[in-house]
Amino acid sequence: MTRLYHIGFGVEDLAPGTTVAFLSGDPDRSETIATDYLADGRELARHRGLDAFAGTLPSGNPVVCATSGMGAPSMSIVVNELVQVGIRTIIRIGTSGSIQDHVRAGSVVIGQGALTNQGAALDIAPTEFPSVADPFLTVALADAAVRLGIDHHVGVMASTDTFYEGQERTESSANPHLVRRLRGMIDEYHDLGVLSFEMEAGTLFKMGAVYGFSAGAVVGIVAQRGLSEAPDTTIIGTAVDNAIRVAVAAADTWSRRS
Strands 89-98 and 20-24, by their bridges, are parallel
Q: What does the pLDDT read at residue 120?
A: 97
pLDDT tops 80 at residue 81: yes
Q: Which residues pair with 108 in a beta bridge?
A: 152, 220
The residue length of the chain stands at 258
Q: What does the pLDDT read at residue 168?
A: 94
The pTM (predicted TM-score) of the whole model is 0.97
Amino acid at the residue 240: V
What's the rounded Cα separation, in Å, for the pair 60 and 124? 34
Amino acid at the residue 13: D
HSE toward the beta carbon, residue 167, CA cutoff 13 A = 31
Place 2 in a pLDDT band, splitting at 50, 70 and 90.
Answer: confident
Task: Find the mean pLDDT for residues 111-120.
Answer: 97
Catalytic residues, which ones? 6, 81, 169, 225
Q: What does the pLDDT read at residue 106?
A: 97
pLDDT tops 90 at residue 257: no
pLDDT tops 70 at residue 1: no
Amino acid at the residue 90: I
For each of the domains in the chain, give its residue range(s) and CATH number, in order of start: 11-255 (3.40.50.1580)
Place 212 in a pLDDT band, splitting at 50, 70 and 90.
Answer: very high
- Which residues are CB-neighbours of 257 under 8 A, at least 6 positions away? none
Q: What does the pLDDT read at residue 258?
A: 56
Residue from 249, 3, 217, 242 nearest 89 by CA: 217
Place 60 in a pLDDT band, splitting at 50, 70 and 90.
Answer: very high
Task: Find the mean pLDDT for residues 145-156.
Answer: 98
Place 256 in a pLDDT band, splitting at 50, 70 and 90.
Answer: confident
Distances (CA, A) of 245 to 35, 57, 220, 239: 13, 12, 11, 10
Percent of the residues in the chain that have a pLDDT greater than 90, as a whole number: 97
Find the helix or strand (DSSP H, E) in which 62 lies: strand 62-67
Task: Find the mean pLDDT for residues 90-99.
Answer: 98
Task: Find the mean pLDDT for residues 81-91.
Answer: 98
Place 97 in a pLDDT band, splitting at 50, 70 and 90.
Answer: very high
What's the rounded Cα separation, in Å, for the pair 99 and 41? 35
pLDDT tops 70 at residue 221: yes
pLDDT tens across 182-193, in order? 999 999 999 999
